[in-house]
Amino acid sequence: METLIIDGKKISQDIKDELKAEVEDLKKKGIEPGLAVILVGNNPASKVYVSNKKKACEYIGIRSFSYELPEETSEEELLKLIKDLNQTKEVHGILVQLPLPKHIDENKILLSIDPSKDVDCFHPYNVGMISIGELNGFLPCTPAGIIELIKRSQIEIEGKKCVVVGRSNIVGKPVANLLLRNNGTVTICHSRTKNLKEICKEADILVAAIGKANFITADMVKDGAVLIDVGINRLENGKLCGDIDFENCKDKAMAITPVPGGVGPMTIAMLMKNCVKAAIM
Ligand code: L34
């Protein structure tokens, strides 16, 4: 059978169109969702992602408030800005793009965001809500985007062996949680895992969030597996590539996400969804 190349661009566009219609209705009721986007420093990849987020806001009709702060911004200054935004009623969501410069304590910043404006779902309150299975609040963007890609491709999670490679707070741990909530049988692997290849080879659904180009090779993949690639690695020739060796894995897979055009655009669509939710909560 032909491999399904999961089109994250198309699926994210569908979601953005759904949200655009919803926001038009909200505006008739006098509600205009607002998102504050904070970028500290000059990380080139962050600049691209933040700019994609602002474009998505514009498309859907979400008001965006942009704060591009210099690398030298102090922790105190950033905390002060967040404190103000917590109290600004036009701002329903606050996003602090990660990574932050090394002199700023990331956890301290994430803790300072009002949980009801935490559209990234990074605050321990919201992380905890996901952990206890309370899914009516915000969902973490990249993980929720992955679940949405799988579901909108008519792929069942229930009962499947799901292997997540990577244990970050932003992808690995929360995606494992959401797969579990969807009744997958979940294994989390990481840099200290023994027999990584054997474990990956058992996966019905394999989520790669390692951050190393082409790390998952064809010999690690089961025939008919669903391959979700969260990696975005920039090669020397300027091209983007994922954590999965796409060319060599795609013929073995039942379905695979490309990079670019897979998980990345879904992260943004799910962020927009959280912003709309924040405005009506
Ligand atoms: N606070 N920090 C916070 N929230 C997030 O949700 C993120 N993330 C990750 C990095 N830091 C964050 C993002 O926004 C990764 N991420 C992200 C967002 C968008 C895209 C990729 C990662 C994206 O648009 N990807 C495009 C290609 C973009 C390009 O040309 O570089 C794609 O098609 O994959």
Ligand 1: centre distance to CA 267 (Å):
7
Clarify whether 87 is annotated catalytic.
Answer: no
Assess whether the C-beta atom of 60 lies below 6 angstroms from ligand 1.
no
Over residues 181-193, the mean pLDDT reads: 97
Burial of 202-218, coded b for 16+ CB within 10 Å and e otherwise, reads ebbbbbbbbeebbbbee
The span from the CA of 42 to the CA of 51, in Å, is 13
Top-level CATH class of 30-115? Answer: alpha beta
The domain made up of 140-264 has a fold known as: Rossmann fold (3.40.50)
For residue 1, is pLDDT > 90?
no
Question: From atom 9 of ligand 1, which residue's Cα is the shortest distance away?
Answer: 98
Torsion of CA 246, 273, 140, 137, to 10 degrees: -150
From 97, 118, 160, 243, active-site residue:
97
| Mutate-to-test residue for ligand 1 from 127, 210, 267, highest number of ligand atoms within 8 A of CB | 267
Percent of the chain, pLDDT > 70?
A: 100
Domain boundaries, the chain: 30-115, 140-264
Please indicate whether the domains covering 30-115 and 140-264 agree at the CATH topology level. Answer: yes
Clarify whether 219 is annotated catalytic.
Answer: no
Closest ligand 1 atom to the C-alpha of 96? Answer: 1
Q: What is the pLDDT of residues 51-65, one digit of tens each?
A: 999 999 999 999 999
Q: What is the pLDDT of residues 90-128, one digit of tens each?
A: 999 999 999 999 999 999 999 999 999 999 999 999 999
Closest ligand 1 atom to the C-alpha of 99? Answer: 11
Over residues 213-236, the mean pLDDT reads: 97
The span from the CA of 265 to the CA of 56, in Å, is 10
Q: What is the pLDDT of residues 146-184, one digit of tens each?
A: 999 999 999 999 999 999 999 999 999 999 999 999 999
Query: What pLDDT score does 100 carry?
Result: 98
Query: What pLDDT score does 255 carry?
Result: 98
Q: What is the pLDDT of residues 30-46, one digit of tens each?
A: 999 999 999 999 999 99
For residue 216, is pLDDT > 90?
yes
Clarify whether 251 is annotated catalytic.
Answer: no
Q: How far is CA 209 from the centre of its chain?
A: 11
